[in-house]
Structures are given as structure tokens and as C-alpha cells.
Amino acid sequence: LFIKDLWFEKVPVRIYQPKAPSASQRRGVMFFHGGGWVFGSLESHEKLCRSIARESESVVVSVGYRLAPEHKYPAAYEDCLNATVHFMKSIEHYGVDPARIIVSGDSAGGNLAAAVSQTLTGRPDLPKLRAQILIYPGLQALDFNLPSYQQNRGVPLLFRERAAFYVLQYLNGDASHVEEVLEGSHVPADIRLKYRKWVSPDNIPEQFKVRGYKPHALLECATEVYEAVKRFCEPNLCPLLAEDAIVQQLPETFILTCEYDVLRDDGLLYKKRLEDNGVPVTWYHLEDGFHGIMSTFNRGWLSFPAGKRGLDNIVNFLKSL
């Protein structure tokens, strides 16, 4: 691979280009790293990006977006969007096919990929995205009591409390309302009911509820708490809440979920929404997977066979595009 560090607008990026000559233009893959919007870097996901570029023979652009809590929402989202738009406008420099641009990311990066993908549906001046790849994405902050949050609350690498803590750090750099968010008293009942058609245990297949799930009672919401977190209802922060008119325009999607992951149900709920709106979805579920398994890939004793299976499925999906 040729590997080069550049700036797209004011955003640092690392580009991975296969050295072997190609008869045709290559795929271009934007990659947004995970780390709860708080951690992660171009370095932390270097091995994963190298593997994707090498094995799928694609040009991969890893984005070093600004991190919370120093840079609050929407800084990370704006950096990822701006880097993607810049790439789309300059793809001739990289031998990339404008009809085969893909956005991707893991965890918080999956959240950013979903948000960028939704935003780009409204940009007729740019090429249409070919696909999005969402690796155990976090897609909503209304309900931290979904089955996967209950079942996997203490499973490394992402505990339930930390998931709420990170999204609050990203939202406003302040996690003082973490208890209310966890118990579900941060959103008024009328708003929760409005989104219940999309964010509800009722939309989770029964086989994912057998491991000790208990329905959660709705609690009263204090006005000052809701005032502090009401941007949780913005799709750029919680892409699961986008309107059907946007979801219908999304590109073909690959979603990877892990059984032992608090974010599993976010992926399952989004899969249902996409399918309900006629978007083709390739879903790969790691029965023995846990959150973060892809970023430990290729790390010696930290490497797990499930992570390699996940990567192989992502590469196969890319090769099909």
C-alpha cells in the first residue's frame, strides 16, 4: 500500500492506496474510527484500515475527526461530512470510481457514517453513495434499557454506563445527567411515544430477548434534564430517528452486530428500519462477538477468530460492489 497523511479542508486524513496497478477505477472507502467520540485516532485503526484496503483492493480514507469533550457535537460529524465531500469532489486524484464511494465506521464511527450517509441523500450536486458499512454502530440515545443494554451491561469492552457517559460527553462535554439517561427519565413521555415506532423492544426479534430481558417502566422526565439533552432527537446525533423520507433514499447497507454488545439492538433496529423502507441490507451477526472486536483484529493475543470473520465479511461485501 501507498500510505499518505493529508488534510481534507481542516481535517487530518490518512489515505491507503493499493500499489498494484488497476485496470479500472477503484472503490473509495471513507472510514470513521470508533472510540465513543472521545478516544480513537488514525493510529488506533491503522491495522483495520490497512487490511480493508489490501484485501478489498480499495482506496481507504481514514478520518482523524475532532474528539469530545473538547470538541462537542456536531464537531465530529461535521469533520466526517466535510472530509467525505472533499474526497467526492477530488476523486480523480485517487483513481476512484465516483459511482463506488462507500462510507464506513465502527461504533461511534458507525454512528458518524450513518449520519453522513443520511445528510448526503440531500446533495444532488455530489455522486450518490454506493453503500454504507456500519460496524456495531450506536444509533440512538433515547433508550438505554433495550434488551442488549440489559443483557450485556457489564460486558467488555463497552459497559452500559460508559455508553451513556460517552454520548453525553459528545453531546455537551458534561456527563452530569448520566443517571437520568440510564433510567430513561431524560426524555418526556410524549417524545418517547412519538419515536416508539422506531425505538422499541417490540421491534427486536424474540430470539434476542431470551437472555433475561425485563420490560422497563417509563419514568417522569424533569424539564431541566430534557433541556440539557434534547439534541438527542437530532438525526445527525441519533440516526435511528431520521424520517422515512430520508431512510428510503439511503444506499445499500452492511450492518455488523455482536451478540455480547450493548449496541447490538441499535443495529437490529436500524436494520428493520432500512428493510421496512426498501433499502437492501446485508446483516452479519457475530454470535460470539463483543463490542470492539474489530479493532483488536490482528493484535497478537488480543486477536479473536470472530474479528477475522467479521473482517472477511466486510471485504466480501466490498468486493460485491
Residue 103: is its pLDDT beyond 80?
yes
- The pLDDT mean for the chain works out to 96
Active-site hit among 58, 107, 117, 295: 107
Q: Kindly report whether the peptide bond that precedes residue 256 is cis, defined as omega within 30 degrees of 0.
A: no
Rounded to an integer, the average pLDDT of 237-256 is 98
- Name the band, by pLDDT with cuts 50, 70 and 90, for residue 295: confident
Measured from the Cβ of residue 146, the count of other Cβ atoms closer than 10 Å reads: 26
Give percent above pLDDT 70 in the chain: 98
User: Could you tell me which CATH class the domain 2-320 is placed in?
Assistant: alpha beta
Q: How far apart are CA 90 and CA 84, in angstroms?
A: 10
Q: How far apart are CA 125 and CA 132, in angstroms?
A: 19
CA angle 182/286/168 to nearest 5° reads 25
Radius of gyration of the chain (CA): 19
pLDDT tens-place string over residues 253-273 = 999 999 999 999 999 999 999
Residues 6+ apart with CB under 8 A from 194: none
- The domains of the chain are located at 2-320
- Residue 193's pLDDT band, with cuts at 50, 70 and 90, is very high
- Residue 247 reports pLDDT greater than 70: yes
Asked if the model's pLDDT at residue 301 lies above 80, the reply is no
Sheet containing 11-17: order of strands: 2-8, 11-17, 59-63, 26-32, 96-106, 131-135, 252-260, 281-290
Let me know if 107 is a catalytic residue: yes
Q: What is the pLDDT of residue 298?
A: 63
Q: Each residue of 104-157: pLDDT tens digit?
A: 999 999 999 999 999 999 999 999 999 999 999 999 999 999 999 999 999 999
pLDDT for residue 302 is more than 80: no
**Residues facing 285 on adjacent strands:** 257
The C-alpha cell at 226 is 430534557
Residue 157 C-alpha cell reads as 469492552
C-alpha 317/C-alpha 14 separation (Å) is 22
Encoded amino acid at 173, one letter: G
